[in-house]
């Protein structure tokens, strides 16, 4: 079992993209481009809607990808 701990949302996004052999497939699975994902990370701490959406993506879409 392996558990990653991240300090911020950018680390999560980088980890997701680095672990994926085919980033475009990962982008299609989560419904966001890498640029959109990083934009979401940038605004995460200032927008409650994005916070909920980001957590929803992590809980429901990322598990299928990683």
> Rounded distance, CA 31 to CA 29, Å?
6
Give the pLDDT confidence score for residue 66 in this predicted structure.
52
List pLDDT tens digits, range 14-63. 998 888 888 888 888 888 999 999 999 999 999 999 999 988 888 888 76
Q: Which domain holds residue 25?
A: 9-65
> Rounded distance, CA 1 to CA 47, Å?
33
3-state secondary structure 8-22: CHHHHHHHHHHHCCC
Give domain status of residue 44, yes or no: yes
Give the pLDDT confidence score for residue 6 in this predicted structure.
93
> Looking at the 3D structure of the chain, how many domains does it have?
1
Give domain status of residue 21, yes or no: yes
Give the pLDDT confidence score for residue 38 in this predicted structure.
94
Give domain status of residue 1, yes or no: no
Give the pLDDT confidence score for residue 64 in this predicted structure.
55
Give domain status of residue 23, yes or no: yes
């Amino acid at each position: 079992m392996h558990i990653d701990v991240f300090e911020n949302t950018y680390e999560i996004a980088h980890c997701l993209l680095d672990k994926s052999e085919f980033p475009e497939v990962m982008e299609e699975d989560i419904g966001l481009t890498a640029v959109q994902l990083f934009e979401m990370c940038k605004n995460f701490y200032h927008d409650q809607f994005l916070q909920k959406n980001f957590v929803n993506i992590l809980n429901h879409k990322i598990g299928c990808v990683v």
